[in-house]
Amino acid sequence: MDTINRPGWIEVVTGPMFAGKSEELIRRIKRLEYAKKNVLVFRPRIDNRYSLDEVVSHSNSRRKSIVIDGAKDILPYLREDTYAVVIDEVQFLDAEIIPLSEHLANIGIRVILGGLDSDFRGEPFSITAEMMARAEFVTKLTAICVRCGSPATKTQRIVNGKPAHFLDPIVVVGAAEAYEPRCRHCHEVLGKAK
């Protein structure tokens, strides 16, 4: 695909779980569809919480998506008239999404990425952090802390009614049964040095 005579750029929509990231991606997709732009929507196969072939928000807004296992799976879907590529849950993809996103933006495609900025430990997801640094636009959303009502910037993992342990696996796909939004002061991780 050759360079298209239009500007491309990278946007990242990020924050903790339950902040409305997927809802915001769907809002942007709808606007592009209304403008009659060719939009490709992708999500990683690992995220099968609500649907096998849709981006779904916690409030049940939905948009059809193409399920991928890795960044390279996006390439066969690109066409000359592709205006935007939207990817939900980008933190689950391999590092190849970084140069691919740069390439797409450089050839004139709008790249919109949604994903968690940090894991249950409160540590950055490297893919999202890297893309935030490279993006022209970053929208960082917050949720509401379920403990105190403050702005929630952390994702709390709950295991058997207690905070997860620092040594637990980083990636455990789940929703309200396993995670809740918390503020900095209410966020807990067992076994983590203060």
* Residues that are catalytic: 89
Question: What CA–CA distances, in Å, run from 107 to 1, 93, 118, 134?
Answer: 8, 21, 30, 16
Strand ranges in the chain using DSSP code E only, listed in sequence order = 9-15, 38-44, 54-56, 62-64, 66-68, 82-87, 110-116, 137-140, 143-144, 151-152, 154-159, 162-163, 179-182
Phi, psi of 131 (to 5 degrees): -70, -35
Tell me the backbone φ, ψ of residue 22, rounded to 5 degrees: -65, -35
36 by Cβ neighbours in 10 Å (0-12 / 13-18 / 19+) ranks as exposed
Where does the chain have alpha helices with state H? 21-34, 97-106, 126-134
